[in-house]
């Protein structure tokens, strides 16, 4: 019964969403208050219904109801409970249900906390949000029903894939989804503003938390995926420029641009049409990302053809929503002009440059990702666009971004003087140049990548610190006063400094791990030792054991430094007989300056074992950098001005608080 109940609730939710997309829109046009107010209960009921539907599917997974096709295909009675639950969204149908659940949740949140929104805007936002919902309900109900029953239920489920039973992977998709769907809310706000025909600073203030929350979730989602790949894939790769990754990276870049341009719209009431366009683009990239992942179109045009219904359906959603929004934009953008003035050198200009660089880098990723498809379509030539291309074509834009960031971040609004802005940064400039030169002079090989990485990291971190110190008038007032001022700075300032420093740290780690990582491949028998980057590594042997449902070959390798034991590493090879599926479990000894990363290979004919060892410098800084960026975003989200009302609504205590 439960599956049918879930299916039924989903159909009801779709019907409610249809009503929610039509009635408030007409109400807003005709200024009928009760028609506009209709958006609030429908948004809540819709969320309740999808919630029931999702709960029913979760119940089927938790109770291992193998009469439901999806459960039979994607679960197993022996799975730990955590992975039974995460299995709900570990597949196509379930992940789409999670998508609409999040979409409905965000709509309900606008309904709950949108009391200070102008009634017409609120009605239109909720209506557009529901239209997006309708498209996805139709997609699920017509092409990807998660509640299909099997006529002959199997005794047990099919999937016990050991590799996917991992916390890093289990929580990576939900974060990405919340990010994608968060961008649907900024999209709804943008389209609603276009229908209204006006964009005010208050609008930008309502939009920014959603953009920020979406960006934070994308950062965490991408970070989790990267972290998982690093320890699970057996060689410590953390970014592959794979189409599926690029699909999440493009919305990340555009939402980063959006949350910066929304600041200009909020504070200075300009850059309005660009902010609107970015909001449309950000969600468009989320949809394109979904299309890329769902349709399999990127692997080959033929994969798309093998199951064209789903691909065509998403392509249709894509065409209607992006095409419709852009048409509306073309019709209305000219009404959004403003005559606000600012100097060629100003915070406004700096943020425009930030937006150009972020948008261009997103464009490069977009074209690189789609190029094999375009080339095959145009000329029939099959070509590959892989990591070497992206490293060359993408990196320069981020280097340029890092170079201008601290200066732009310190520029005053309206009109800046370059000399005056740079003066407090003199120390940061000198020190980062010194760090760059020092790395260049002391490294052996590696070219300019590590020196530039070191220079940028120092520059971004010190630049952020200088910004804070400058705001707190450090050096001009007493130490105690400086401390008091620092404490009283808005959280958004601390968030900005934290996120920008995190970007610097990430850049440093990315540069050094790329050029300084060293590797060693050899065969070893028990007792063998070798030297690696100042460590002596001793191979103590391999033990075979039967563990639960797999056979384990676990090696022990002892790492010594100056005769002292530093670490004992246990790289492992597992073989799962049921799935006849081998996996590697690399052993990682983590530290601040390096990771010692060892993978166990095959047993050789002479009885020795293949062992692969890496020393990965500053690997942990990758995760620290990503975490700092996400944390900076969260700090900024909790800023006072988002917690209290928008500017035109002084006295109102309730604001559009986004998901955290």
Partner 1 sequence: MRALLIALMLWATPSMAVQPDEVLDDPVLEQRAREISEGLRCLVCRNENIDLSNAELARDLRIVVRERLVAGDTDEEVLDFMVARYGEFVLLQPRFHAGNAALWLAGPALLLLGGGIAIAFIRRRRPESASDTLTEAERARLDALLKENDDV
Residues 372-391 that bind partner 1 (CB under 8 A): 375, 379, 381-389
- Residues 206-235 within binding reach of partner 1 (CB under 8 A): 229, 232-235
Nearer to partner 1, 341 or 430 (CB): 341
Instruction: Give the pairing of strands 550-561 and 518-524.
Output: unpaired
Q: Residue 444 CB, nearest distance to partner 1 (Å)?
A: 13
Do the Cβ atoms of 314 and 294 come closer than 8 Å? yes
Strand, helix or coil for residue 543: strand
- Residues 296-325 within binding reach of partner 1 (CB under 8 A): 296, 299
Residues 602-641: x where in contact with partner 1 by CB under 8 A, - otherwise, as a string: x-x-----x-x-----------------------------
Nearer to partner 1, 59 or 342 (CB): 342
Please select the residue that binds partner 1; options are 19, 52, 164, 328, rule is CB under 8 A. 164
> Under the criterion CB under 8 A, does residue 584 sit at the interface with partner 1?
yes
Nearer to partner 1, 67 or 523 (CB): 523
Nearer to partner 1, 88 or 279 (CB): 88
Backbone angles phi, psi at 444, to 5 degrees: -105, 105
Please select the residue that binds partner 1; options are 9, 178, 262, 359, rule is CB under 8 A. 359
Residues 443-482: x where in contact with partner 1 by CB under 8 A, - otherwise, as a string: ----------------------------------------
Q: Residue 283 CB, nearest distance to partner 1 (Å)?
A: 19
Please select the residue that binds partner 1; options are 1, 344, 441, 592, rule is CB under 8 A. 344
> Under the criterion CB under 8 A, does residue 158 sit at the interface with partner 1?
no
> Under the criterion CB under 8 A, does residue 360 sit at the interface with partner 1?
yes
Q: Residue 323 CB, nearest distance to partner 1 (Å)?
A: 22
Q: Is 548 left (phi over 0), alpha (psi -120 to 50) or beta?
A: left
Nearer to partner 1, 205 or 491 (CB): 205
Distance CA 47, CA 32 (A): 24
> Under the criterion CB under 8 A, does residue 148 sit at the interface with partner 1?
no
Closest CA to 167 of 237, 82, 92, 239: 82
Quick one: which segment of 51-59, 239-247, 433-441, 590-598 binds partner 1 (CB under 8 A)?
A: 239-247
> Under the criterion CB under 8 A, does residue 8 sit at the interface with partner 1?
no
Q: Name the helix (H) or strand (E) containing 511.
A: helix 491-516
Q: Residue 105 CB, nearest distance to partner 1 (Å)?
A: 20
> How many residues does this entry show for the chain?
660
Distance CA 54, CA 471 (A): 48
CA quadruple 61, 228, 396, 292: dihedral sign: negative
Beta carbons within 10 angstroms of residue 70's beta carbon = 28
Token representation of residue 630: 């996400």
Q: Residue 415 CB, nearest distance to partner 1 (Å)?
A: 7
Quick one: which segment of 275-283, 318-326, 341-349, 434-442 binds partner 1 (CB under 8 A)?
A: 341-349
- Residues 408-447 within binding reach of partner 1 (CB under 8 A): 415
How far is residue 407 from each of residues 460, 489, 500, measured CA to CA in Å?
10, 19, 12
DSSP string, 351-395: HHHHHHHHHHHHHHHHHHHHHHHHHHHHH-------HHHHHHHHH
Q: Residue 28 CB, nearest distance to partner 1 (Å)?
A: 15
Distance CA 322, CA 113 (A): 27
Token representation of residue 660: 């955290």
Nearer to partner 1, 190 or 385 (CB): 385
Q: Residue 475 CB, nearest distance to partner 1 (Å)?
A: 31
Closest CA to 239 of 649, 622, 643: 622
Please select the residue that binds partner 1; options are 157, 243, 251, 311, rule is CB under 8 A. 243
Closest CA to 517 of 425, 594, 442, 441: 594
Q: Is 551 left (phi over 0), alpha (psi -120 to 50) or beta?
A: beta
How far is residue 394 from each of residues 76, 240, 367, 454, measured CA to CA in Å?
43, 13, 11, 19
Q: Residue 550 CB, nearest distance to partner 1 (Å)?
A: 13
> Under the criterion CB under 8 A, does residue 528 sit at the interface with partner 1?
no
> Under the criterion CB under 8 A, does residue 185 sit at the interface with partner 1?
no
Please select the residue that binds partner 1; options are 2, 558, 583, 620, rule is CB under 8 A. 583
> Under the criterion CB under 8 A, does residue 37 sit at the interface with partner 1?
no
Distance CA 396, CA 402 (A): 10
Do the Cβ atoms of 109 and 646 come closer than 8 Å? no
Nearer to partner 1, 179 or 368 (CB): 368
Do the Cβ atoms of 342 and 415 come closer than 8 Å? yes
Token representation of residue 480: 């105690």
Nearer to partner 1, 24 or 174 (CB): 174
Nearer to partner 1, 273 or 501 (CB): 273
Instruction: Give the pairing of strands 594-603 and 587-590.
Output: antiparallel
Token representation of residue 390: 């992206």
Q: Residue 201 CB, nearest distance to partner 1 (Å)?
A: 7
How far is residue 542 from each of residues 162, 235, 519, 552, 571, measured CA to CA in Å?
22, 20, 21, 10, 9
- Residues 69-98 within binding reach of partner 1 (CB under 8 A): 89-92, 95
Q: Residue 346 CB, nearest distance to partner 1 (Å)?
A: 8
> Under the criterion CB under 8 A, does residue 525 sit at the interface with partner 1?
no
> Under the criterion CB under 8 A, does residue 523 sit at the interface with partner 1?
yes
Please select the residue that binds partner 1; options are 10, 169, 207, 587, rule is CB under 8 A. 169
How far is residue 63 from each of residues 77, 83, 86, 87, measured CA to CA in Å?
8, 13, 13, 12
Distance CA 429, CA 424 (A): 10
Quick one: which segment of 131-139, 328-336, 590-598, 645-653 binds partner 1 (CB under 8 A)?
A: 645-653
Nearer to partner 1, 11 or 399 (CB): 399
Q: Residue 196 CB, nearest distance to partner 1 (Å)?
A: 11
Do the Cβ atoms of 318 and 387 come closer than 8 Å? no
Nearer to partner 1, 552 or 638 (CB): 552
Nearer to partner 1, 82 or 367 (CB): 367
Nearer to partner 1, 384 or 442 (CB): 384
How far is residue 490 from each of residues 494, 635, 639, measured CA to CA in Å?
7, 10, 6
Please select the residue that binds partner 1; options are 39, 143, 270, 286, rule is CB under 8 A. 270
- Residues 539-578 within binding reach of partner 1 (CB under 8 A): 573
Q: Residue 616 CB, nearest distance to partner 1 (Å)?
A: 14
Do the Cβ atoms of 373 and 301 come closer than 8 Å? yes
User: Count of residues binding partner 1 (CB under 8 A)?
Assistant: 85
- Residues 93-132 within binding reach of partner 1 (CB under 8 A): 95, 118
Strand, helix or coil for residue 551: strand
Do the Cβ atoms of 148 and 68 come closer than 8 Å? yes
């Amino acid at each position: 019964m439960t599956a049918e109940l879930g299916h039924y609730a989903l159909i009801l939710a779709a019907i409610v969403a249809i009503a929610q997309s039509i009635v408030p829109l007409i109400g807003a046009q005709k200024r009928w208050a009760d028609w506009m107010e209709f958006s609030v209960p429908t948004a809540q009921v819709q969320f309740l219904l999808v919630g029931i539907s999702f709960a029913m599917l979760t119940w089927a997974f938790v109770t291992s109801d193998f009469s439901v096709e999806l459960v039979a295909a994607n679960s197993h009675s022996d799975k730990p409970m955590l992975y039974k639950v995460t299995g709900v969204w570990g597949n196509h149908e379930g992940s789409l249900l999670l998508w609409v659940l999040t979409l409905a949740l965000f709509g309900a949140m606008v309904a709950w906390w949108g009391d200070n929104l102008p009634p017409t805007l609120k009605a239109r936002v909720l209506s557009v949000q529901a239209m997006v919902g309708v498209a996805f309900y139709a997609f699920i109900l017509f092409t990807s029903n998660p509640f299909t029953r099997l006529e002959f239920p199997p005794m047990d489920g099919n999937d016990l894939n050991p590799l996917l039973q991992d916390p890093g992977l289990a929580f990576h998709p939900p974060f990405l989804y919340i990010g994608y769907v968060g961008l649907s809310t900024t999209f709804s706000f943008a389209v609603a503003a276009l229908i209204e025909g006006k964009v005010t600073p208050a609008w930008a203030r309502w939009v920014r938390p959603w953009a920020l929350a979406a960006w934070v979730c994308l950062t965490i989602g991408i970070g989790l995926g990267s972290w998982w790949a690093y320890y699970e894939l057996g060689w410590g790769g953390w970014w592959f420029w794979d189409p599926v990754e690029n699909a999440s990276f493009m919305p990340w870049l555009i939402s980063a641009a959006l949350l910066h341009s929304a600041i200009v719209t909020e504070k200075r009431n300009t850059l309005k049409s660009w902010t609107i366009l970015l909001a449309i683009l950000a969600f468009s990239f989320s949809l394109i990302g979904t299309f890329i992942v769902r349709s399999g179109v990127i692997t080959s045009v033929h994969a798309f053809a093998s199951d064209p219904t789903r691909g065509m359906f998403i392509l249709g959603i894509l065409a209607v929503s992006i095409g419709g929004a852009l048409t509306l934009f073309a019709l209305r953008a000219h009404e959004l002009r403003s005559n606000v003035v600012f100097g060629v050198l100003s915070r406004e200009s700096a943020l425009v440059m930030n937006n150009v660089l972020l948008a261009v880098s997103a464009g490069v990723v977009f074209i690189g990702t789609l190029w094999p498809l375009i080339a095959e379509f145009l000329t029939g030539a099959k070509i590959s666009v892989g990591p070497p291309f992206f490293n060359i074509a993408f990196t320069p834009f981020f280097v340029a971004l890092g170079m201008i960031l601290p200066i732009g971040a310190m520029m005053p609004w309206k009109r800046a003087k370059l000399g005056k802005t740079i003066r407090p940064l003199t120390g940061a400039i000198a020190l980062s140049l010194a760090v760059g030169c020092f790395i260049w002079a002391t490294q052996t090989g590696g070219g300019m990548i590590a020196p530039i990485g070191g220079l940028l990291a120092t520059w971004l971190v010190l630049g952020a610190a200088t910004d804070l110190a400058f705001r707190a008038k450090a050096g001009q007032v007493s130490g105690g006063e400086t401390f008091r001022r620092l404490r009283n700075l808005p959280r958004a300032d601390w968030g900005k400094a934290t996120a920008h420093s995190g970007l610097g740290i990430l850049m440093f780690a990315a540069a050094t791990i790329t050029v300084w990582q060293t590797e060693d491949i050899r065969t070893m028998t028990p007792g063998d030792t070798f030297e690696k980057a100042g460590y002596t590594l001793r191979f103590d042997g391999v033990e075979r054991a039967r563990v639960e449902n797999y056979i384990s070959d676990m090696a022990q390798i002892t790492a010594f430094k100056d005769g002292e034991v530093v670490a004992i590493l246990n790289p492992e090879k597992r073989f799962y007989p049921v799935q006849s599926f081998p996996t590697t479990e690399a052993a990682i000894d983590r530290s601040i300056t390096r990771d010692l990363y060892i993978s166990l290979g095959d047993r050789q004919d002479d009885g020795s074992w293949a062992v692969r060892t890496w020393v990965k410098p500053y690997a942990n800084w990758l995760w620290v950098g990503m975490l700092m960026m996400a944390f900076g975003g969260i700090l900024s989200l909790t800023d006072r001005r988002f917690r209290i009302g928008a500017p035109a609504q002084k006295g109102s205590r309730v604001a559009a608080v986004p998901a955290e």
